[in-house]
A and B are shown apart, each in its own frame.
Chain A
Amino acid sequence: MRKKLLFSFCAWLFASMTLLAQNRTVTGKVTDSQSGTPLPGVTISVNGKAIGTTDAQGFFTLSIPAATKKFSVSYVGYSDQSVTITGNTIAIALKQADNKNLDEVIVVGYGTKTKKDLTGNIARVKGSDVANIPVPNFTQALQGRAAGVFVESQSGKVGEGIKVRIRGAGSISASNAPLYVVDGVPINGDAASGSSLADINFNDIETFDILKDASAASIYGSRAANGVVLITTKKGKAGKTNLNVNMQYGSNKPTHLRGFLDAKEFVDLLREAAINSDKIEGVDPLDPAQYSGSWLQFAEGRLTRYAGHTNWRTLETNTNWEKLAFNDNANSKLMDISASGGNEKTRFYISGGYNGQDGILFGNDFQRISGRFNLDHEASERVKIGVNLTVARTVANRVANDNQFFTPMQIVALAPITPVRNAAGITNDRPVTTYYNPLIELEASRYVSTTYRNIGSAYLNYKFSNNLVFKTEFGLDVQNQNDDEFYGVRSTVGQSTNGYGQSTWFRRVNYNTNNYLNYINTFKEKHFIDATLGMSFQDFKTDYTTVYGQDFPLDELKKLASAGTITGGSSTLTESSILSYFARANYKFDNKYLLSVSGRIDGSSRFGKENKHGFFPAVSAGWILSEENFLKDVKALSFLKLRGSFGLTGNDAGFGDFAHLGLWGAAKYNNTSGLVPTQLANPKLKWEKSEQTDIGIDFGFFNNRLTGEIDYYVRNTRDLIYDIPVPGTSGFSTQTVNIGSMQNKGFELVLNSVNINNKAVKWNSSLNISRNNNKITKLDGEQTIIPGNDGRYLNSLMVGQGIGVFYGPKFAGADPANGDALYYKADGKTTTNVYNDAGTFVVGNPNPDWIAGLNNSVSWKGLELSVLFQGVFGNQIMNGAGGFMSASFDWFDNQTKDQLDRWQKAGDVTNVPQLRLGYGNGIGASSRYVENGDYVRLKNITLAYNLDSKLLSRFKLRSARFYVTGVNLATITKYKGWDPEVNSDYRAGNNRNQGSDFYSAPQIKSITFGVSLGF
């Protein structure tokens, strides 16, 4: 049936082609309307069919049907222009397109469309807007720039993962990350460590087109539920070869330090805590007779131990360990060279770049060397071929995840009375330090991750006729990563084994082919049709190999060749594939009424026979009211469009390749292999499905000086894949099933305005505000709550609440009578000092209600100032390390400054319970450790100076730009932790676990100076 449909669709396509009638010749020249320079490679088309291009000098010669009265001219970066044929020679002056011009050509997946004709919601961010922002990962550069696109770096570690959510999270267990497509190839999203997206040099990127609603995204079917980011890299333009050189240097600092007790406070509070514990047990430790065996004796013993060779009683040492976690001399360096040019037949873009970012944490940095080669060639009138190729090498010095004693930030737990070095100048370790001293990592350990990445695609377009083009693409994404770890004899990992080394190789290769036909035609002047039909196949294969060993002769010999014993190794392979057929038809009547219908059939290896295939349709429509006669006279209104869409998309990623099978895997005991059950079967497993409805208005006022979009959407996701807890008595803890559903509802507002536009001064503003309301609408139909209190965090799943809400005990402060930590009982009014008797409440939501971005750019003569504010509102953050660092001195970890407000005597009203050593007074996970995470940040500020043309010509330059850029220079927040943009890396693998802080590094604040020269 499917094949028959496909056939008849094609037959209809070809039957409707028209033949061309008699022709006449028209010649002319196309120039830039401002500078008058000729524009080569400009496309000239009649009724949407390209009939010619301009040559290197901007001239064209056309053979046009005699009956044709108009043709249109289009060129990248310029507004399309409709030209009425008067005479045989025509001069055309093209205007450069504004940033948000309605005639902009948007990439839509297997095709393009002008913004004016869009019926779905697609946000575009131009590469030039984010170029040279000193961050490793392009997703970080997109933060705050598009409505409905939420970006959050886990922490200030460089090269690590970044959370991107388009219109909220749709899934509990499967992936919530959008699909990234570079020049038509969906790219790998996984890595052995770090982020695979950091391999891309975003100075090579021309545009990001973010497909947000279902009608825009559903052409990507089963992988589009989380939105799609289409990345188009830069292409060459015919004409003189342009050479650009770009250099940057900057320095990185943490956005904020938290503040911990100093030596005096530490000693005072710890002794107080010990005395309090003694008193509970009826002991007065200040009485010499009762001192022996008291908590105080124990605590003072520890103080002596922690003071090392110094004396804690005189407060001889006062170390600020928190400061020592950071690298004082963190810099960023960037250098890029690119060249582009070509002629009418062949165009190229070549670039090479280096990006080096020192992390703010000691021992953390990231470097990328990358090259790109894009080539487009017109072999004949019918055949166009091209390649887009990038190679990159990234090297990252990583630090351990936030949950490891040897990660730099856990240094804050050490006692301020402990000297960094002992009398002999050697870095102190346990038992002098409270825990392993992470500074030893710098001297003793190494964790280098090196990735070679090659993303390439080649395409061939064959023009059967002016109406019908066949396009075939083949893409390959090869990612080779090696994580080389060595832990020397002084490190905590290598200490007992005389050093420990591990080498991990990760290779992920995906190949992809897209083959599709594109048909465009106009009937009777008013009926415009644009149709696409094709297929796609993609295969992902991941190899993983690791070897580890111990007993190294000396720390200088770090490779496994020097290991005395190879203690283990493993290799694994996993593969998945997806085969798809897709079709789309767009219809436009009289430039007013728009209709688009699309469908995609996906077959996936990830599901069993019963559910291997899925169908993902979408429909959308638009009405350009401003073209109607009754609005044509409204002068202020330049553009008005209503649009609506509905579609179905799927999600198949993020839960493994074989989740539907009942599996047994290898185990080992007594150095002999064994077999154990690893997974419960579920042959009924199927895709998650997302239905999205979007209603929007696009408008332009005052000759499009004020333009904008308003969207309202509802996205319902059902058949959520989730590992539901099963009775542990079954021998399993979870089973992967399709349960539940989730809803994201929200609205988005985008406003762009040209506030001032005269010869001297230009001032543009653009604002985006989005609200998203995420809620789980069904779990398994029986349970309405899957509580998640794991002792540190409270992220839970609850019907009617956002994913990962904090659900647990509500802290009621310290009992004014005795300093006990109090919690509200289930009635919400009375309190108890027994944690297990506390009621459970929703005490926070990690999902923001609102996100916003406001960008202003002002230029005056050669000066340009661009300021981006970005904000996140309505979310809460939970400090999972609260039970250690803000724990009323439950143990010996140094405490945050707020613990100074502890309860001390009857009548004290405070939120810090009485200090009690070893008594766990209020350290269970509760609202005590939940805080508001709202913030507004000066995300980006750039001041630039462009040399004027006189000076340029004196230095024989085409352009010269000097600039200074600041990132995260100011943050307004009430959050008391390091930084409100946080989600601890060790938990981030689970969608439910949001808003978690755990010794997570603050974000990077940087100032960078740069120069860009064009030759």
Chain B
Amino acid sequence: MKKYIPLFMFLAVTASSCDKKLDLLPQQSVAEEVALSSDANVKKILNGCYDALSSANLYGGHVLLFSELQAADGEILWEGTYNEPREVYRKDILTTNSYVRDTWLTSYRTINIANNVLGSIDVIAAADKNRVKGEALFIRAAVYFELVKLYAKPYSVGSVTTNLGVPLILTPTRGINESNYVARSTVEQVYARILTDLTEAESLLPNTNGSYATKPAAAAMLSRVYLQMERFTDARDAADRAISVATANGKSLTSTYAAAFNNSTNATEYLFAMQVSAQDGANAMHEFWSIPEYGGRDGDVSIQAKHLALYAPTDARLALFYSGAGATRSGKWQQQFKVLPLIRLAELYLTRAEANFRAGTVIGATPLADVNRIRNRAGLLPLVIVTLADILAERKLELAHEGHAAADLKRLRGSADGFAYNANKMVFPIPQREVDASKGVIVQNEGY
């Protein structure tokens, strides 16, 4: 028996030394407890929240693209080979459309990250708490605003207390159980939550904050929400607050219209923009609107004569269009790896002008002064008197192809390509996977 002793020792040593090797941890990831444990970590989560927000599916471009495609009305043409954006363009969307699905998923992913920041706000150092909370609220509200515009009937349709909005999730996900199957709130409930969050965000956020969310950005976002709700005095006041705080802190219209686009860092005019560089960030507007020469796809969106005819020949905004890959292209999205502007100061002047005009007030400035400020920069002669139609026409040209088209069309009760603002097909379907995964708790939109 003795001769086997070394053998048993060998086996015992091998086995015991190997047993420890079964407890391995990942190298690229950490556990939730670690992630949420400290001030520094939660601030990193906040930056992660911006990363999710900047995804191509969301503010990295698709949300803007969808808006323009829905309201194309013969002014732009989707001529790309991808048939899923074309479904949006044709207002004939399959419930399995992966673009529609991914925007939904990315939106809620962003919301969950924001909820994680808000849920761990107590570990943030006192000095930064307001700012961090304000940023997370701003992001959450902005995403809900985009969701409710895409996946629900517009506010202008009415019946907001019965029309379905989107599910409201306000706490971080810690596992999957019954509480994660949440039905859609009404349009009114979603708007109410957006207003609450944005109002609180505006009060908490600092006036300047690098390229991150600020007080004027929150006010600007509020003005958009109020415009959708047609609460013009609130929209006016929010726009006015945004303008006054922003301009007091160094923001101004760029000297030329072209300078407001294709920038590697925020232009003076940007109140909020998605940061993009060669190393990081997506700009799907560039991807689809630009051409191979500039790193775009095949020039999937082209600008049609119907749109070009809207400009005066001397309009600097007309001059920004260029020819490439066999059609006219938007110069706003020409260059690769450029910052993607979401809120420009110009928008707020036009919002204030419109809201003042509708309310018959002159808070901040007269509608005429605000409109002429924009016309002047575009190299156009000032108007002497201004009508609502002038303001709206100016707004359309100034903000063309920047993702405002569908929102404006719907609140102004217009139509595009034969689809009225309140048509079922002007609303996205709820992604089929979501109807399935929620076991029917989330119901499909009318018309799908």
Contact of A663 among B22, B30, B87, B439 (CB under 8 A): B30
Given contacts A496-B292, A674-B47, A677-B32, contact A893 B81 (CB under 8 A): yes
- Cα distance, A539 to B295, chains bound together (Å): 44
Contact A674 B51 (CB under 8 A): yes
Contact of B22 among A612, A661, A731, A883 (CB under 8 A): A612
Contact A668 B51 (CB under 8 A): yes
Contact B30 A728 (CB under 8 A): no
Contact A567 B45 (CB under 8 A): no
Query: Which residues does chain A contribute within 8 Å of B432, judged by CB atoms?
Result: 787, 789
Interface centre among B32, B176, B295 (most CB of A within 10 A): B176
CB within 8 Å of A: which B263-319 residues: 275, 277-281, 292-296, 298-299
Return the chain B residue nearest A670 by Cβ: B275
Contact of B167 among A669, A729, A883 (CB under 8 A): A729
Contact of B104 among A657, A680, A728, A891 (CB under 8 A): A728
Return the chain B residue nearest A923 by Cβ: B83
Interface centre among A664, A835, A920 (most CB of B within 10 A): A664
Query: Which residues does chain A contribute within 8 Å of B52, judged by CB atoms?
Result: 667, 676
Contact of B437 among A605, A673, A727, A924 (CB under 8 A): A727
Contact of A577 among B24, B92, B280 (CB under 8 A): B24
Contact A568 B436 (CB under 8 A): no
Contact of A567 among B14, B31, B278, B434 (CB under 8 A): B278
Query: Which residues does chain A contribute within 8 Å of B293, judged by CB atoms?
Result: 495-496
Given contacts A664-B30, A676-B51, contact A836 B94 (CB under 8 A): yes
B113 interface residue per 8 A CB criterion: yes
Query: Which residues does chain A contribute within 8 Å of B109, judged by CB atoms?
Result: 728, 731-732
Interface centre among A669, A733, A787 (most CB of B within 10 A): A669
Query: Which residues does chain A contribute within 8 Å of B24, judged by CB atoms?
Result: 575-577, 605, 657-658
Contact A603 B22 (CB under 8 A): yes
Query: Which residues does chain B contribute within 8 Å of A731, judged by CB atoms?
Result: 108-109, 111-113, 115, 169, 172-173
Return the chain B residue nearest A516 by Cβ: B11
- Cα distance, A639 to B38, chains bound together (Å): 74
CB within 8 Å of A: which B314-354 residues: 325-326, 336
A818 interface residue per 8 A CB criterion: no
Contact A836 B29 (CB under 8 A): no
Contact with A along B208-252 (1 / 0, CB 8 A): 001110000000000000000000000000000000000000000
A786 interface residue per 8 A CB criterion: yes
Contact A604 B31 (CB under 8 A): no
- Cα distance, A680 to B441, chains bound together (Å): 21
Query: Which residues does chain A contribute within 8 Å of B90, judged by CB atoms?
Result: 918, 920
B86 interface residue per 8 A CB criterion: yes
Contact A791 B279 (CB under 8 A): no
Contact with A along B169-181 (1 / 0, CB 8 A): 1001101100011
Contact A661 B175 (CB under 8 A): no
Contact B295 A497 (CB under 8 A): yes
Q: How far is the CB of A84 from chain B (nearest CB, A)?
A: 35
- Cα distance, A662 to B33, chains bound together (Å): 9
Contact B326 A605 (CB under 8 A): no
CB within 8 Å of B: which A762-785 residues: 782-783
- Cα distance, A661 to B293, chains bound together (Å): 45
A310 interface residue per 8 A CB criterion: no
CB within 8 Å of B: which A231-268 residues: none
Contact B47 A669 (CB under 8 A): yes
Tell which of A105-113, A207-215, A429-437, A694-702 binds the partner: A429-437
- Cα distance, A728 to B107, chains bound together (Å): 9
- Cα distance, A473 to B49, chains bound together (Å): 51
B84 interface residue per 8 A CB criterion: yes
Q: How far is the CB of B437 from chain A (nearest CB, A)?
A: 4
Return the chain A residue nearest B28 by Cβ: A572
Contact of A677 among B34, B113, B448 (CB under 8 A): B113
Query: Which residues does chain A contribute within 8 Å of B212, judged by CB atoms?
Result: 670
Contact with B along A543-584 (1 / 0, CB 8 A): 000000010000000000000010110001111111101000
Contact of B32 among A305, A470, A681, A730 (CB under 8 A): A681
Contact A664 B182 (CB under 8 A): no
- Cα distance, A725 to B97, chains bound together (Å): 17
Tell which of B1-9, B63-71, B192-200, B384-392 binds the partner: B1-9
Contact of A678 among B29, B105, B325, B434 (CB under 8 A): B29
Contact A791 B97 (CB under 8 A): yes
Given contacts A515-B14, A574-B27, A605-B21, contact A430 B83 (CB under 8 A): no
Q: How far is the CB of B194 from chain A (nearest CB, A)?
A: 16
- Cα distance, A727 to B277, chains bound together (Å): 33
Query: Which residues does chain B contribute within 8 Å of A923, judged by CB atoms?
Result: 83
B189 interface residue per 8 A CB criterion: no
Given contacts A579-B21, A605-B22, A733-B105, contact A664 B3 (CB under 8 A): no
Contact with A along B409-441 (1 / 0, CB 8 A): 000000000000000000000011110111101
Q: Dominant SS at the A interface?
A: mixed
B161 interface residue per 8 A CB criterion: no
Query: Which residues does chain B contribute within 8 Å of A681, judged by CB atoms?
Result: 32, 175
Number of A-B contacts (CB under 8 A): 263
Query: Which residues does chain B contribute within 8 Å of A884, judged by CB atoms?
Result: 81
Contact with B along A963-1000 (1 / 0, CB 8 A): 00000000000000000000000000000000000000
Contact B96 A789 (CB under 8 A): yes
Q: How far is the CB of A662 from chain B (nearest CB, A)?
A: 5
Query: Which residues does chain A contribute within 8 Å of B32, judged by CB atoms?
Result: 662-664, 677, 681
Contact B47 A673 (CB under 8 A): yes
CB within 8 Å of A: which B6-55 residues: 7-8, 10-11, 14-15, 18-19, 21-32, 34-35, 41, 44-52, 54
- Cα distance, A158 to B18, chains bound together (Å): 39
- Cα distance, A892 to B24, chains bound together (Å): 53
Contact B279 A567 (CB under 8 A): yes
Contact B3 A670 (CB under 8 A): no
Q: How far is the CB of B184 from chain A (nearest CB, A)?
A: 10
Contact with B along A722-765 (1 / 0, CB 8 A): 00011111111101000000000000000000000000000000
A464 interface residue per 8 A CB criterion: yes
Interface centre among B47, B277, B293 (most CB of A within 10 A): B47
Q: How far is the CB of A711 from chain B (nearest CB, A)?
A: 36
Contact B18 A920 (CB under 8 A): no
Query: Which residues does chain B contribute within 8 Å of A730, judged by CB atoms?
Result: 108, 112, 169, 173, 176, 180
Contact A891 B18 (CB under 8 A): no
Q: How far is the CB of B306 from chain A (nearest CB, A)?
A: 9
- Cα distance, A464 to B4, chains bound together (Å): 9
- Cα distance, A429 to B292, chains bound together (Å): 10
- Cα distance, A575 to B293, chains bound together (Å): 43
- Cα distance, A735 to B10, chains bound together (Å): 42
- Cα distance, A676 to B97, chains bound together (Å): 26
Contact A464 B86 (CB under 8 A): no
CB within 8 Å of B: which A643-693 residues: 657-658, 661-681
A492 interface residue per 8 A CB criterion: yes
Contact of B19 among A550, A579, A665, A924 (CB under 8 A): A579
For this complex, 22 residue pairs linking A to B, each with C-beta atoms less than 8 Å apart, are A431-B299, A535-B15, A550-B278, A567-B278, A572-B28, A573-B28, A575-B27, A576-B24, A577-B21, A578-B22, A579-B21, A603-B22, A658-B29, A727-B441, A729-B108, A730-B108, A730-B173, A731-B172, A783-B436, A791-B83, A791-B94, A836-B448
Q: A664-B45, A920-B92 are in contact. List 19 more A-B contacts (CB 8 A).
A: A537-B14, A568-B279, A572-B28, A657-B24, A667-B47, A669-B280, A675-B41, A677-B35, A677-B173, A679-B29, A727-B167, A727-B182, A727-B438, A732-B173, A835-B94, A836-B448, A891-B81, A920-B87, A924-B94
Complex A-B, nearest 4 residue pairs according to Cβ-Cβ distance, in ascending order: A731-B112, A496-B295, A674-B48, A674-B47
List residues of chain B with CB under 8 Å of any chain A CB: 1, 3-4, 7-8, 10-11, 14-15, 18-19, 21-32, 34-35, 41, 44-52, 54, 81, 83-84, 86-87, 90, 92, 94-98, 104-105, 108-109, 111-113, 115-116, 167, 169, 172-173, 175-176, 180-182, 210-212, 275, 277-281, 292-296, 298-299, 325-326, 336, 431-434, 436-439, 441-442, 448
